Amino acid sequence: MRTLLKAKTLWDGADSLEDPVIVIDENEIAFMASRATGQEPARTLTAVYDFPDATLAPAFFDVHIHGSAGHDVMEATPEALHAVGCFLASCGTASYLATTVSAPVDTTLRALSGLARLIENPGLIEANGNPEQPSARPLGIHLEGPFLSHEKRGAHPCEHLLPPDIGLFDRLFEAAEGHLRLITLAPELPGAAELAAHATARGVRVSVGHSDATAAQTRAAIAAGAASATHTFNAMRALDHREPGILGTVLTDDSLFAELICDGIHNTREMVKIWWRTKGPERAILVTDAMSAAGMPDGAYKLGGMTVQVADRRATINGVLAGSVLTLDRAVTNFIEFTGATVEQALRLVTVNPSAMTRLSGHAGRLEVGQPANLVALDAEGRLSAAFVNGKAVTRCS
């Protein structure tokens, strides 16, 4: 299968190109140039797509997502990840970190082992559906819990929260078979700095969050290797002018990446603007924190072992927000609307920045010849016009 794509502009993750031409051969980018400077290979084409008013760009990468399409990633089955992956692909997301939630240790170990097997063998996921239906792929695992604060646990069950423990971390790391890429950690917990240093030494990125930490405690975690912040503003000590706490540190430390859930529910547009002005185009990351109800009608759904009620786009447990039903394409349009950022600026937050934070830039966030053909087309307002995952056109999600 050989496909030709044309558009008004191409942004490849670094530079822009006017009047681009991209040729996809099977599932890879075979040719990429401007129509003014390059001549695409003269071979038979299976399909031609023209987006005269759109920007072509790398497909999205979500580093914080628990599930969608009625499934939770902790099910860790080919059926669950295929359903999640197909839904994400339809929304322009080609890559993600399968994100856990606090649960009994044995449950988490089983989930990590199952996820590792599927990450190692993506064909097991693809075999559970129509081979012509593209599916986003998990590039690793984000461990959210159990090393979180009781005071700022959000929806995480208090009975499953544990103090930082290097021995337990190593058990979790080994169960994930090297695919643990990111861990959320509350800096104020005893042993947090030591665990941050240990995880970093093992190649796992540390994100501060679900925390009532002071500024000094947060700085200690950053000095030990913490590289990001989990869903900024949510489940964090409030900002105070005499004790800026974790939030003041996250917003003012230029070395730290910072996630944000831009659904208009978790944060107001004013807070989104503050986050954007402080973190800027190099360190801001949009995430969904989506749970199994994403893409589904209102009702009761699972987040790990918990039952979440979803109504009018709000996912809650006893009135506490429990993830979201957001998609990254919607997060991009919300962000542009809330801040006035350009499409290219918004694209960095769902491509280059998450790839840089996770050190997975060779797997997502760029468009290059020879790489998998994972692309999106966005209109002038940042709305998703089309998506291509593994070289195949995907029907947009609603």
Question: Is 19 labeled as catalytic in the residue annotation?
Answer: no
Q: What span, in angstroms and rounded, lies between the C-alpha atoms of 196 and 96?
A: 22
* Close Cβ partners of 13 (under 8 Å, ≥ 6 residues apart): 57, 58, 351, 352, 365, 366, 367
Which of 289, 298, 329, 379 is an active site residue? 289
CB 46 within 8 A of CB 3: yes
Report CA-CA distances (Å) from 343 to 94, 232, 275.
19, 22, 17
Closest to 308 measured CA to CA, from 70, 64, 148, 65: 70
H or E stretch covering 208: strand 205-208
Residue among 234, 288, 351 nearest 64 (CA): 288
Angle of the 215-223 helix axis to the 245-252 helix axis, nearest 10:
50
Q: Any bridge partners for residue 57, and if so which?
A: 376
The catalytic residue positions are: 289
